[in-house]
Amino acid sequence: MRLVIARCTVDYAGRLAAHLPAATRLIMVKADGSVSVHSDGKAYKPLNWMNVPCDLRTSPGEWVVTNPKGETLTITIEEVHLDIEHEMGQEPGLQKDGVEAHLQELLAARPEAVADGLKLVRREYPTDIGPVDLLCRDANGGAVAIEIKRRGEIDGVEQLARYLERLDLDGRLRPVRGIFVAQQIKPQAQVLAMARGIKCVEVDYDQLRGEDTGRLTLF
């Protein structure tokens, strides 16, 4: 990784046009070739950047980064305050726990946590516009489509409504009920769900994980 602190101006031309007047900034060049320009605020996003794949050509006063899409990032360097290079070695990678996929796993194992009597038919049940998170049958044998989100917002309700439209075309499933499940569901999403005839259920991830005694592995 190369770190340069320099007084510079920056111009980006690509999906939009952007310009940075002269000031002192950090320029970071990573081993993968990506370049980013940071100010001393606006954490954590750089002011300008170019992602891999890209090509960096440096001359004394000007760095030009181009990518195959024809976008360019031009850094005009007026004065260099620091210029160091450091080997970072291998990155073992980030381990995560608690994302939507885990919530889906837990609910697939215990659909009765959403509503009494539910039995799982299939996870990621396919429709021609994408897969429904869970397809279940209720105690009466009725089909139930479940969309799971970490946070329930209006888009998620629309998404489930589209799936329901499609599933209802299948005579073996019709009529299909919809349940929108999330750790937290925003009021607007609840209102829209109500209007679409979709039930809302809020679940607690930590509680679910606790009840799922089979897999208590957190790292």
Token pair 């976008």 in the structure block, residue: 71
Residue 6 burial by Cβ neighbours in a 10 Å radius (0-12, 13-18, 19+): buried
The answer to the question of residue 43 lying near its own copies (CB under 8 A) is yes
Nearer to DNA, 111 or 156 (CB): 156
CB–CB of 144/178 below 8 Å?
yes
Exactly one of 4, 73, 114, 193 binds DNA (CB under 7 A); that residue is 73
How far lies 219's CA from each of 19, 103, 108, 144, in Å? 44, 17, 22, 34
Binding part of the chain for its own copies, among 63-71, 87-95, 136-144, 168-176 by CB under 8 A, reads 87-95
| Binding partner at 139 among its own copies, DNA, none, C-beta below 5 to 8 Å by kind | none
The answer to the question of residue 92 lying near its own copies (CB under 8 A) is yes
Nearer to its own copies, 138 or 158 (CB): 158
Calpha distance 140→194 (Å, rounded):
22
| Binding partner at 3 among its own copies, DNA, none, C-beta below 5 to 8 Å by kind | its own copies
The answer to the question of residue 82 lying near DNA (CB under 7 A) is no
Smallest separation, CB 48 to its own copies (Å): 8
Calpha distance 209→217 (Å, rounded):
10
CB–CB of 12/37 below 8 Å?
no
Binding part of the chain for its own copies, among 22-30, 55-63, 72-80, 140-148 by CB under 8 A, reads 22-30
Binding part of the chain for DNA, among 110-118, 148-156, 196-204, 205-213 by CB under 7 A, reads 148-156
Exactly one of 61, 62, 83, 99 binds its own copies (CB under 8 A); that residue is 99
The answer to the question of residue 101 lying near DNA (CB under 7 A) is yes
Which residue, 209, 185, 104, 106, is CA-closest to 146?
A: 104
DSSP designation for 168: T
Exactly one of 80, 82, 139, 169 binds its own copies (CB under 8 A); that residue is 82
Sheet containing strand 119-127, edge to edge, reads: 119-127, 130-137, 143-152, 176-185, 199-202
Binding site for its own copies (CB under 8 A): 1, 3, 5, 15-26, 28, 30-32, 34-36, 38-49, 51-52, 81-82, 84, 86-99, 155, 158, 218-219
